């Protein structure tokens, strides 16, 4: 992507000293990656620790000194740039009255309006406090363990989380939660819509000359890498479609591609995937 550093802007940075407590468990031969990615994007802590209990630490204090490598510092700047582009340049134009979500950087674990969140759950959105929570180490895991490389793959994750905020703000998520039907199937529809809406932002970015050659392909590869069938096959060797909560690799690619090609949120309706 074509981008320029501009500070962290509206991002709340909780990466300072004091992190730890109930942090992410060491990576095994694949199980932790499955938890990490199946928890991706919808705010579900699949580690089983959830919001119950009292963590020993807050996962960092706002304004505390942050120790970071040059690579992490650059990544933080990039994610902040994407946040501004998605939330300040795109959604206010597409959704009148849009109010931005609060993006929070943390390490290992942090308190949220939805309970105690951990890095093992992956990036997540909390509707209770309209917050998007990101442990930046996830992006390294996405590259090294899932093969989802490239800056647009990272941007896709951020845009997908913002899309969950759009679903919450417009009442779509609440209507789905309150509707009748299979919970897994409803979750898949919400996730595919969020993929499509992330693509709508990608279309806008392309029209504003923010993308480089190959960026869209990076996003599509990332969408495929986190398909339920791919993750289940990697984790257990068995694919169980009835247990899907995010959609297959083909479904996720198709949903993202629809948004990228159309640039129209109306093409991302629930039930059309």
Q: Give pLDDT tens digits for 111-168.
A: 999 998 888 778 999 999 999 999 988 888 888 888 888 899 999 999 999 999 999 9
Helix, strand or coil, per DSSP, at residue 209: coil
Helix, strand or coil, per DSSP, at residue 4: coil
30 versus 186: which is more confidently predicted?
A: 186
Return the structure tokens found at 221. 């590869």
Q: Are 97 and 49 in contact (CB under 8 A)?
A: no
Does 85 score more than 80 pLDDT? Answer: yes
Return the structure tokens found at 272. 């059309």
Q: Are 143 and 49 in contact (CB under 8 A)?
A: no
146 versus 73: which is more confidently predicted?
A: 73
Q: Give pLDDT tens digits for 234-257.
A: 888 999 999 999 999 999 999 999
146: DSSP letter: T
């Amino acid at each position: 992507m074509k981008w320029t550093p501009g500070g962290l802007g509206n991002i709340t940075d909780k990466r300072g000293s004091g992190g730890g407590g109930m942090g992410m468990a060491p990576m095994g031969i694949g199980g932790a990656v499955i938890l990490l990615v199946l928890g991706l994007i919808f705010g579900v802590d699949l580690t089983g620790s959830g919001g119950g209990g009292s963590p020993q630490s807050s996962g960092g204090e706002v304004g505390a000194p942050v120790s970071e490598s040059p690579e992490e510092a650059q990544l933080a700047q990039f994610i902040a740039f994407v946040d501004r582009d998605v939330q300040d340049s795109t959604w206010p134009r597409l959704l009148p009255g849009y109010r931005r979500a609060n993006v929070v950087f943390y390490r290992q674990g942090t308190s949220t309006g939805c309970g105690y969140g951990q890095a093992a759950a992956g990036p997540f959105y909390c509707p209770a406090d309209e917050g998007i929570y990101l442990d930046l180490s996830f992006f390294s895991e996405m590259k090294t363990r899932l093969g989802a490389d490239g800056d647009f793959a990272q941007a896709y994750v951020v845009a997908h989380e913002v899309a969950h905020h759009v679903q919450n703000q417009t009442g779509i998520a609440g209507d789905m939660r309150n509707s009748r039907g299979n919970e897994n199937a409803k979750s898949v529809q919400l996730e595919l819509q969020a993929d499509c809406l992330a693509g709508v932002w990608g279309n806008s970015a392309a029209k504003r000359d923010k993308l480089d050659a190959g960026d869209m392909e990076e996003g599509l590869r990332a969408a495929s890498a986190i398909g339920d069938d791919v993750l289940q096959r990697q984790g257990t060797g068995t694919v169980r479609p009835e247990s899907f909560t995010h959609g297959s690799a083909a479904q996720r690619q198709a949903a993202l591609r629809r948004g990228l090609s159309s640039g129209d949120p109306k093409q991302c309706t629930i039930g059309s995937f």
